[in-house]
Chain A
Amino acid sequence: MADYREAPLATRPKTLDPNEYFNLSPEQRRAEESRAALRAGLKRQYQLQLNDPHRKELIEDPALTRWVYARANPYPLFRATKKTSLLGVMFGVVPLFALYYVFKTDRDNKEEKIKAGTLERSFSLAS
């Protein structure tokens, strides 16, 4: 049998804690039991696949599939908030204009120096 432990960070529902059980109302207990039945069904499916001796492939995790799909297709999930708009402008628009300003002034200064004859060409390799 493959090794199956509880998820270490998961909390136990209140109905499984003997100190709390009698404080709960019957509706809460019934709701808790139906949720536990659903969870047990999922666990059973997972364990059937985990211990199947003829299994060769990975067990499909739908949460992982959804996460990978969300990471691969971010555009439908994008929402224009103040934060995302600010980030978009800061990383996508401002650098282009800033770099244009930097390169243009640098190259224009170089062109003036060339025209005035004062450019010092210390970098003597072919370009």
Chain B
Amino acid sequence: MLKILIPSMFMLLTTWTSPFKQLWSTILMYSFLVATLSLTWLAMPTDTGWFYINNYMAYDPLSSPLLVLTCWLLPLMIIASQNHLAAEPENRQRTYISLLISLQIFLILAFSATEMIMFYVMFEATLIPTLIIITRWGNQMERLNAGTYFLFYTLAGSLPLLVALLIYHSSMGSLSYLSLTSLPLTCSNLYADKLWWMACLLAFLVKMPLYGVHLWLPKAHVEAPIAGSMVLAAVLLKLGGYGMMRIMIILDPLTKELSYPFIILALWGVIMTGSICLRQTDLKSLIAYSSVSHMGLVAAGILIQTPWGFTGALILMIAHGLTSSALFCLANTNYERTHSRTIILARGLQMVLPLMATWWFLASLANLALPPLPNLMGEIMIITSLFNWSFYTLILTGLGTLITASYSLYMFLLTQRGPIPHHLILLEPSHTREHLLLALHLLPLLLLIAKPELVWGWTA
């Protein structure tokens, strides 16, 4: 693991010392090298599953898919940002790349943390580079509002988590993952214990996001520049899911009674945010609400605490990360041509940019969970385990799948099919860089069809 972490840290040095003409190609090649090395994390020959590097960092079948996704995303973010940063002065370009690299370092440390406090500190640390990216390099005035919502929703959710972790530590003595399984806080019906349970989960529910507290997500995703949107959708939401999976161990007897409101909010959120997607006029906002919808399913899958639920949640997180990031890249190709995110301004693109239409098609199909893609695998496992939990969830999840299919198809048909509006007189042809970017997003997704065991998590 050090062969990935130390090069990532030195990539910061490379950003500031490489000659400007070769900056982007150097950083791109360097991050591709790190990403390729990170694939070694997926090979898990031992029986225990846990790989310890030192006392503080380890990875296991739950965190290794997320780690590989994080490392894979950095070259993709760099390819995506190259165009819109080309106009900026040199130091600002280096700063932007440094922010992306530092975000990756914090994420690697967060996913490989073996102790809850380290995970918490890294969880908070990822907020800073993301906030800087959104508020400094976003394109509209609303980015300040978006940054405020993003920062304060997450902070308000995670300060109770700090208190809860410190309470647990002072009473149990350790927050290491190894000891968490054998030290749940004893069950009692005290109101304080229920508040403690709530405090542990709130941060991750806000990050996921759960339907009632999802307001920061459309703002942050829409106002962020493309690399910010990509990393938010692909990895930062999954931090919430991963944290929830880790902390479920100590929350145990209380979860059976207290999780009902959150499962209900998550499932109702799938339907509500799906319906909002059908009414959106802004392309990035549509993709952001579809992220909330998918993450609602993940939240429900984690809260019912069954093995298939966890597996489905993990697969859906990985598959959704790649799909959502690909959709944001496609929306960015539209934005770079028309400088507007309104869907109706750029329609009928299949006639003008047919190869890009192929990528739109594949990404929309992935979004609506077409078999045999891993999106479907994750969704089916979550839906099945929810059905086992209670039959009536099938109405909600079935309706949710129907609405997902309809808004994905709506997005595809509205942007690709139909007549081209006659006010569009200049659309640049698709660059090779854009094709490469989308191919690199969708290729892992297609390869995961063949070996989903890599991202199954512990229930192998």
**Interface residues of A, Cβ cutoff 8 Å to B:** 55-59, 64, 67-68, 71-73, 91, 95-96, 99-100, 102-104, 106-107, 110, 123, 125-127
Interchain nearest-CB distance for A53 vs B (Å): 10
Residue interface mask B412-429, A partner, CB < 8 A = 1? 000000000001111000
Minimum Cβ distance to chain B for residue A118 (Å): 17
Interface size class of B (residues with CB under 8 A): 35 or more
From residue 264 to 313 of chain B, which have CB atoms closer than 8 A to chain A? 264-265, 267-268, 272, 280-282, 285, 306-309
Q: Which of B280, B281, B387 has the most CB of A within 10 A?
A: B281
> Which stretch in B28-36, B124-132, B322-330, B337-345 binds the other chain?
B337-345
Inter-chain CA distance A102–B263, complex, in Å, is 13
Question: Are the C-beta atoms of B342 and A64 separated by less than 8 Å?
Answer: yes
A56 in contact with B425 (CB, 8 Å):
yes
B388 within 8 A of A: yes
A71 to B268, CA, bound (A): 23
Closest to A72 in B: B282
Say whether A57 contacts B265, CB under 8 Å. Answer: no
Q: List 10 A-B contacts (CB under 8 A).
A: A56-B425, A58-B424, A68-B281, A68-B282, A72-B222, A99-B264, A103-B263, A103-B393, A107-B389, A127-B309
Contact present for A100 and B345 (CB under 8 Å): no
> Of the candidates B264, B282, B306, B384, which one forms a contact with A103 in the assembled complex, judged by CB atoms under 8 Å apart?
B264
SS of B interface (majority):
helix
Check A106–B260 contact: CB distance below 8 A. Answer: no
How near does chain A come to B37, taking the closest CB pair, in angstroms? Answer: 35
B363-395: CB near A (< 8 Å → 1, else 0) gives 000000000000000000000110111111100
User: Secondary structure at chain A's binding surface: helix, strand, loop or mixed?
Assistant: helix
Interface string of B68-94 (1 = CB under 8 A from A): 000000000000000000000000000
B45 within 8 A of A: no
CB-CB < 8 A to B265: which residues of A? 96
Interface assignment of B19: CB less than 8 Å from any CB of chain A: no
Cα A110 to Cα B393 with chains together (Å): 15
Least CB distance, A104 to chain B, in whole angstroms: 6
Is A96 touching B261 in the complex (CB atoms < 8 A)?
Answer: yes
Cα–Cα distance between A95 and B399 once the two chains are bound (Å):
14
Q: Which of B265, B308, B338, B425 has the most CB of A within 10 A?
A: B425
**Which residues of B are found within 8 Å of A71, using beta-carbon distances?**
280-282
A127 to B382, CA, bound (A): 10
Q: Which residues of B contact A104 (CB under 8 A)?
A: 260
Q: Is the pair B388, A123 in contact by a Cβ cutoff of 8 Å?
A: yes
Which of A57, A64, A68 touches B339 (beta carbons < 8 Å)?
A57
Q: A96-B265, A99-B268, A102-B392 are in contact. Are A68 and B425 (CB under 8 A)?
A: no
